[in-house]
């Protein structure tokens, strides 16, 4: 009954790893195209292997899966495949985290990555009426020097990036490790976001705010353990990009019904709903909204408010934001 409403709802996705949109079907097709061998006997076997105990157990398969991405065309195909699925479920804007360090380590150049992704973003805008922004993500489990090198090497492409981000294995890799890198990004005119409080403690969220000067926190769900932090996030209107199905699949929470989302909303935080790595976590934006609607009994008003939060917090120009606001009003 509400199915149609959830599809029509104009959804902006602020937390998505483009490499995490690689469905097993495309993974197998690209493996064949590029002569890359995969550790799975079949597409079904790949899906079956997506049974994670924590973030690291997912990251191991995530980095392995992306080994099929070699040429610019592969990156364009990857993103177009995702953009078509997203548009079909009512996604109107996507902000893509991109992990160039993971590709460079395999001998794939930043130019190959960017040529493919920028082509797909331009096509999505004209072919699907889907706008996008890109986030240059640093792998926090790699040395800060590597992140700084990537940032310097990315200068020819900076017009394509709205922000820098911080992802990969959180525990033991606090935001402060990247203080200088984020300061340099700020100097270069880039916005800043960071994963924090997914598996890491609430203190990592404070560090991301104080030392990296981020405008949004990716995940941030462990903020709920620190009431003063919750108050601060509410007072400052800091946006959390929460990924409900991801949190269940990576065992951040046991089941969705136990998720801190309703408590965070009650505490006055600005939260948004996102899919993180939809090919690995059992669904895209529509599935995430639908699962929350079911688990928390959210009304259409709450779902609309969540969609509005994302439109307001997105990296997009005023004209596009106004267009999407109007679409939300005329639902």
State which of residues 11, 17, 192, 249 lies at the interface with ligand ADE (CB under 6 A): 17
Q: Applying CB under 6 A, does 81 fall inside the site for ligand ADE?
A: no
Total binding residues toward ligand ADE, as defined by CB under 6 A: 11
CA distance 121 to 123: 5
Q: Applying CB under 6 A, does 13 fall inside the site for ligand ADE?
A: no
Q: Applying CB under 6 A, does 177 fall inside the site for ligand ADE?
A: no
Task: Give the three-class secondary structure for 288.
Answer: helix
| Catalytic one of 198, 207, 211, 257 | 198
Backbone angles phi, psi at 82, to 5 degrees: -70, -45
116 vs 165 by CB, closer to Zn ion? 165
- Beta strands (DSSP E) in 106-213 are 131-139, 161-167, 191-196
Asked if 223 contacts 233 with a C-beta cutoff of 8 angstroms, the reply is: yes
**Residue 198 is a catalytic residue:** yes
Shortest distance in whole angstroms from residue 154 CB to Zn ion: 19
Shortest distance in whole angstroms from residue 20 CB to ligand ADE: 5
For the segment 82-141, give every residue that binds ligand ADE (CB under 6 A): none
Which residues lie across from 16 on neighbouring strands?
96, 276
Residue nearest to Zn ion (CB): 276
- Which residues are within 8 A (CB) of 1 and not within 5 positions of it... i.e. 6 or more apart? none
Task: Answer with the entry of Zn ion, ligand ADE, none that 20 interacts with (C-beta below 5 to 8 A by kind).
Answer: ligand ADE
191 vs 277 by CB, closer to ligand ADE? 277
Write each residue from 185 to 204 as x if it is in contact with ligand ADE (CB under 6 A), else as -, in one continuous string: ----------x--x------
User: What are the b/e assignments for 188-203, b being 16+ CB within 10 Å?
Assistant: eebbbbbbbbbbbbbb
CA distance 265 to 286: 20
DSSP characters over 192-221: EEEEESSSS-HHHHHHHHHHS--SEEEE-G
Q: Applying CB under 6 A, does 67 fall inside the site for ligand ADE?
A: no
Asked if 97 contacts 165 with a C-beta cutoff of 8 angstroms, the reply is: yes
State which of residues 55, 120, 154, 271 lies at the interface with ligand ADE (CB under 6 A): 55
Q: Applying CB under 6 A, does 277 fall inside the site for ligand ADE?
A: yes
Task: Answer with the entry of ligand ADE, Zn ion, none that 140 interacts with (C-beta below 5 to 8 A by kind).
Answer: none
40 vs 274 by CB, closer to Zn ion? 274
Task: Answer with the entry of ligand ADE, Zn ion, none that 198 interacts with (C-beta below 5 to 8 A by kind).
Answer: ligand ADE
DSSP characters over 233-267: HHHHTPEEEE-HHHHHHTTSSSSGGG-SHHHHHHT
243 vs 314 by CB, closer to ligand ADE? 243
Asked if 312 contacts 159 with a C-beta cutoff of 8 angstroms, the reply is: no
Shortest distance in whole angstroms from residue 197 CB to ligand ADE: 11
Looking from the CA of 304 toward its CB, the CA atoms found within 13 Å total 13
Shortest distance in whole angstroms from residue 79 CB to ligand ADE: 15
State which of residues 101, 246, 260, 274 lies at the interface with ligand ADE (CB under 6 A): 246
Contacting residues toward ligand ADE, per CB under 6 A = 17, 20, 55, 62, 167-168, 195, 198, 246, 276-277
Q: Which residues are catalytic?
A: 198
């Amino acid at each position: 009954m509400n199915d149609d409403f959830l599809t029509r709802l104009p959804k902006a996705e602020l937390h998505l790893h483009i490499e995490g949109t690689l469905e097993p079907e495309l993974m197998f097709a690209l493996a064949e195209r590029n002569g890359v061998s995969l550790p799975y006997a079949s597409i079904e076997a790949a899906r079956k292997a997506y049974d994670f105990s924590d973030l690291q157990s997912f990251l191991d398969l995530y980095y392995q899966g992306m080994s099929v991405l070699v040429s610019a065309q592969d990156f364009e195909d990857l993103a177009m495949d995702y953009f078509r699925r997203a548009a079909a479920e009512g996604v109107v804007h996507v902000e893509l985290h991109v992990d160039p360090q993971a590709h460079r380590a395999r001998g794939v150049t930043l130019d190959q990555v960017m040529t493919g992704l920028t082509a797909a973003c331009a096509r999505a805008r004209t072919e699907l009426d889907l706008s996008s922004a890109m986030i240059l993500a640093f792998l926090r489990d790699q040395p800060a020097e590597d992140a700084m090198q990537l940032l310097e090497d990315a200068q020819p492409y900076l017009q394509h990036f709205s922000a820098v981000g911080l992802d990969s294995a959180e525990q033991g890799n606090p935001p402060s490790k990247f203080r200088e890198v984020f300061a340099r990004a700020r100097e270069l005119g880039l916005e800043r976001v960071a994963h924090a409080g997914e598996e890491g403690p609430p203190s990592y969220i404070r560090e991301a705010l104080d030392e990296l000067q981020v405008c949004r926190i990716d995940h941030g769900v462990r903020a709920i353990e620190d009431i003063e932090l919750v108050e601060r996030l509410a007072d400052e209107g800091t946006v959390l990009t929460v990924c409900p199905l991801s949190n269940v699949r990576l065992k951040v929470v046991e089941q969705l019904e136990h998720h801190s989302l309703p408590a965070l909303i009650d505490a006055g935080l600005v939260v948004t709903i996102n899919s993180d790595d939809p090919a690995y976590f059992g669904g895209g934006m529509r599935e995430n909204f639908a699962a929350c609607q079911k688990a928390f009994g959210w009304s259409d008003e709450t779902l609309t408010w969540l969609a509005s939060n994302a439109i307001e917090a997105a990296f997009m120009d005023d004209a596009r934001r106004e267009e999407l606001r109007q679409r939300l009003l005329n639902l």
